[in-house]
Amino acid sequence: MMMIKLWMVTCLQLAELFVSSVVHLIYGFYIFSTAVAGDVSQKLSDYLFKSNVGGETDQRSQSNVEGLPPIVLVHGIFGFGKGRLGGLSYFGGAEKKDERVLVPDLGSLTSIYDRARELFYYLKGGRVDFGEEHSEACGHSRFGRDYGEGQYPEWDEDHPIHFVGHSAGAQVIRLLQQMLADKAFEGFEETNENWVLSVTSLSGAFNGTTRTYLDGMRTDDGISMKPICLLQICRIGVIMYDWLDISWLKNYYNFGFDHFNISWKRTGVRGLVDCLVGNSGPFATGDWILPDLTIQGSTSLNSNLQTFPSTYYFSYATKRTRRMMGMTVPSGVLGIHPMLFLRVFQMSQWRFPQDVSPPYKGYRDEEWQENDGAMNTISMTHPRLPVEHPSRFIRSDSECQTLQPGIWYYKIVEADHITFIVNRERAGVQFDLIYDSIFQRCRKHVFRKIPQTLPNQSPRCPSSPR
């Protein structure tokens, strides 16, 4: 009887793995094909309708935004920045809502640490330095991409930046700010936490997610993977993608592991085998993003991260569940993306194994049931683990006309994890409401000295604290 039960459970798990793999592959193909189609259409349009108006518009726009601090949009896991996937926008074109927005392309699967280092050099300029100690421990090259002069070389305490991060991008920003405070960049000893003016999180991965365990991370350590799971399929696919090193394909989309030198040109067949069996590469050393997104990994990361008293913090936590008859269930069918519906249900019913020590003292399954299909709502509001940071729950953006620095203001929004990225039509008017409020807050209500003069506006007296 026990054998039959075990056999049935195994069959169900394999069936779920097959369905999840197919759904994710279809969605990935959809994104890629959409990008290619858009790119071809744009190039054809440029060829047929050549115009010289664009240059004048860009120059005029640049002069209008002089003096405004940039708003930097940081993508999440499997994300991409400007210049990847043709003309497709990870943030659904939200960057067009303001005249000084930067969208960096960081490693889509690299660790929070590596992405934070890359983000610094993308802005300040120079060749990415991952640090000698970290690079030796993780088995990759110390230096990465060269960003030349950088996108904002004047960045300092007097020229701070607004950051907006989606999903894991929020943790990248927090770690970057801590690195600035710790003066962790060799040759840049003048950095401090005040280089960051504000941090806005959109479905931010502050405290980890139970989805990592559903996808294949082990619950006992939060670092290693189960032998058969969705993440193992992902691992093999990424290793093959980087090993084949097809230049035009990697220019179109890159997982960000170039500093591991996995390419066949460097390692040959033996290098591929070593990566596949787990002897080398990012998945062998744990220097990739999933270990940072488990509850254990996030708690470890958070133990070194502060909420700083001179920086403004805001968070949008998302959820697609509701309570019904004493249970947490998906809040609907049509409003949840097909790729996420199964995970919304699974996360709402997930329980930490009783034979494994809980990830932290006081852990309760019930508190982690509300979710958006990728992140648990409790994890997105503000940093909670291992210690809770100052926070305030708000119901309306109007409550944020007067903000205090050093406090996480958070709002809970009815949406799934990808409502506000890639396809803006899915979110409808809610897309504009969210991003308009983010950009308006950055421009009108968040400043340390005097409010910025917006393009085509004259200076006016501030209505917010100075």
Q: What is the pLDDT of residues 234-284, one digit of tens each?
A: 999 999 999 999 999 999 999 999 999 999 999 999 999 999 999 999 999
Once rounded to an integer, what is the mean pLDDT over residues 119-145? 97
CA 252 to CA 32: how far, in whole Å? 9
> What is the number of alpha carbons within 13 Å of residue 91 lying toward its C-beta?
31
pLDDT at 302: 98
Once rounded to an integer, what is the mean pLDDT over residues 402-409? 92
CA 271 to CA 233: how far, in whole Å? 19
CA 10 to CA 421: how far, in whole Å? 35
pLDDT at 67: 76
pLDDT at 456: 43
Is the pLDDT at 126 greater than 80, yes or no?
yes
Share of the chain above pLDDT 90, in %: 76
pLDDT at 452: 47
pLDDT-derived band at 199, boundaries 50, 70, 90: very high
pLDDT at 446: 66
- Give the chain's largest Cα–Cα span: 79
Least-confidence region, from 11-25, 52-66, 67-81: 52-66
Once rounded to an integer, what is the mean pLDDT over residues 346-350? 96
The answer for residues whose C-beta is within 8 angstroms of residue 17's C-beta and 6 or more apart is 228, 229, 230, 233
Is the pLDDT at 13 greater than 90, yes or no?
no
Pairing label, strands 327-330, 391-393: unpaired
pLDDT-derived band at 43, boundaries 50, 70, 90: confident
Once rounded to an integer, what is the mean pLDDT over residues 337-352? 95
pLDDT-derived band at 65, boundaries 50, 70, 90: low
pLDDT at 463: 36
pLDDT at 57: 37
pLDDT at 66: 67
pLDDT at 157: 96
Is the pLDDT at 192 greater than 90, yes or no?
yes
The chain-wide mean pLDDT, for the chain, equals 90
Is the pLDDT at 194 greater than 90, yes or no?
yes
Share of the chain above pLDDT 70, in %: 91
Is the pLDDT at 60 greater than 90, yes or no?
no
Once rounded to an integer, what is the mean pLDDT over residues 145-173? 97
Is the pLDDT at 416 greater than 70, yes or no?
yes
Once rounded to an integer, what is the mean pLDDT over residues 350-367? 95
pTM of the predicted protein model: 0.90
CA 169 to CA 404: how far, in whole Å? 23
pLDDT at 146: 97
| Token pair of 76 as six digits | 């999440």
| Token pair of 430 as six digits | 């809610």
Q: What is the pLDDT of residues 268-327, one digit of tens each?
A: 999 999 999 999 999 999 999 999 999 999 999 999 999 999 999 999 999 999 999 889
Once rounded to an integer, what is the mean pLDDT over residues 344-367? 95
Q: Where are the alpha helices (DSSP H) in 223-337?
A: 230-244, 247-252, 264-277, 282-285, 289-293, 295-302
- Burial code (b: 16+ CB inside 10 Å, e: under 16) for 48-77 equals eeeeeeeeeeeeeeeeebeebbbbbbbbbb
pLDDT at 81: 96
Once rounded to an integer, what is the mean pLDDT over residues 138-161? 97
pLDDT at 50: 62
Is the pLDDT at 64 greater than 60, yes or no?
no
